Chains A and B, each alone.
Chain A
Amino acid sequence: MSQTRETVVKEGIDQATVEMTRELETYKHGFITNIESEKAPKGLTEDTVRYISAKKDEPQWMLDWRLEAFARWKEMDEPTWAHVKYPAINYQDHYYYSAPKSGSKYESIDDVPPEILADFEKLGIPLREAEVLLGVEGAGQTPGEARTDAGVGGEGVARQKVAVDAVFDSVSVATTFKKELEKAGVIFMSISEAIREHPELVKKYIGSVVPTSDNFFATLNTAVFSDGTFVYVPPGVRCPMELSTYFRINEANTGQFERTLIVADKGSYVSYLEGCTAPMRDENQLHAAVVELVALEDAEIKYSTVQNWYPGDKDGKGGIYNFVTKRGDCREARSKISWTQVETGSAVTWKYPSCILRGDNSVGEFYSIAITNNHQQADTGTKMIHLGRNTTSRIISKGIAAGFSDQTYRGLVSVHRKAEGVRNFTQCDSLLIGDQCGAHTVPYIEAKNSSAVLEHEATTSRLSEDQLFYCMQRGLNEEEAVSLLVNGFCKDVLQQLPMEFAVEAQKLLEVSLEGSVG
């Protein structure tokens, strides 16, 4: 990201903050789309796995892989070490596959049911413009790079072009800008398609970062994943636009188990955005995704998430259980993987986007904002595993707990014996708003090489009364003031987000904190 752009984002945020706080609203993505859908029978057996695989026309190797995972999963116990509490999940009480009835995949955008399109319109991340979505064959075929940031913060905000893969409940419904990406050699499609069209690539990389039996939820995902996104950027290619997947859970009692695999071949670059929403429902819904990133020599992957699953109501009823395994493998020299996340949703979050720094001189980054309010619980953080020489990592985590929520940063920085010249810097700051919430920091630091330089700092505090008073003296109401200060607290992370997301994220911060003061 260029210097100018960073500045612009910062200014955009501060300016817009005040305005946006005026239109504070509750979870606005909580609408339910009425479309008929086709579901697998409730519950989870080997037959469910076979059903999903058959629905997707999968090759035998894929089915075998799923069945192996299912067999292992049955032997595994749900992890209990995270600092979260929730009633036992009955895995037989969920649907594991749900697809809009009109077909599992649309040839053109015209085939997408209008309800879904309308749905997208209501959303805004980042499909707010139907034009963009319809742009599959339409006007927006000029390279996204050409767009400027000139108008940011002002009236006609110029947008970067973003290619979108939308996953609705279990299946991918639309992928935009496919042609243009093809020209650049970038493969961007649903993982189901990729399994059929690029089996050699998928077979080579899937499960190579998160192995089948990695953990309870990842293993479950391997058995029943229904769709997700596949990206392959060929050697030397700088992906001409931001790629984005938008996940939405719609059906009641439906688990969503998407699988994302991104491979950046030698010397390539890709920036990927992920957004999530779900309707308001009284029951808890299960989400257990797996994301695998592979960066080869000199490649860079930037992965940004705005996670806004339904967090449940203010009494803690309903909401998504978000048990996600995200891991990046800097497999070769000088590769770089950067995770940025803004976590405002879900009733329970269990998520540790990690980097395995295998290649010499590779770089891992984790920038996180987690906001919990009401009765939300989040246990999130990262792992930086330094295996290669001169590998560096940077962790910036900002946690904000309000209401009755409980939040934990959990992180591991590990330096292996042969990893010379490792550097890590970690900064974890927690902010408590109100006296009924909790904020926790649990870092693990393991150093086995004397040349490592590891620094970790953590602080816990509350909003400064002085600053609050100052803002209010200038005319902001309390909520506006809190919002402004929280934005300041999160600035280091917000700056890492692509502009589209930064504005969205900042809006979400406000929505999430609503009702936390006064």
Chain B
Amino acid sequence: MLKIDDLHITVQETEILKGLSLEVPAGEVHAIMGPNGSGKSTLSYAITGREDYEVTQGDITLDGDSLLEMDPNERAAKGLFLSFQHPLEIPGVATMSFIRTALNAQRKARGENEVTAADFLRAIREKAKIVGLSDEKLKRPFNVGFSGGEKKRMEMLQMAMLEPRFGILDETDSGLDIDALKMVGEVVNEMRGPDRGFLVITHYQRLLDYVKPDRVHVLADGRIVESGGPEIARELEEHGYDKYIQSAA
């Protein structure tokens, strides 16, 4: 499904990813762990096509199609969703109308019908309940004045609404309370299926208790330095990154 091949990314003249390769087959959930500054968010931005993240070498494909020439919104319409490590506030933009515009833009790009206002409203109410956001929160300008945890819930709400085929969760668990952590697990597990893939970036084992990964990769100094089963996460929890940092250096 998602395939990354020898990816080199340069940000403001500094090479951050230095030949990263990774494959997430359809139906699987992979986790990425790695020390601060190792390039995890850089990878998620590169996949979703953020400006200034220059691909100097390598390729990223989704279902065999290269993403590199696509705009961020084309990638989104193709089914890529990123839950941002630091979601933004967008003052003046109404939450509901933003999500609805996004959903319809994607559907339109895929040649699907727009959702009616009534259907949309029904769906968002239902999903807001699952992620734990009140109606009042939906009426506010997008994320304005939200707590860190509420912003993460809003990311999950959008993922649930947009139903992407491939979801990237960049530290969605940090800043969440125990209930919210469970909620993230529910949302992901609910969506998990043979046609969907997920890449879960995290620093902690506890999210992986709820979202059981098929594989865990360790990212250090711009490369995947180890891949294996869920046991790797537990090992890291105990011993930290020392051995990888040395091996990378």
Contact between chain A and chain B defined by CB under 8 Å: no
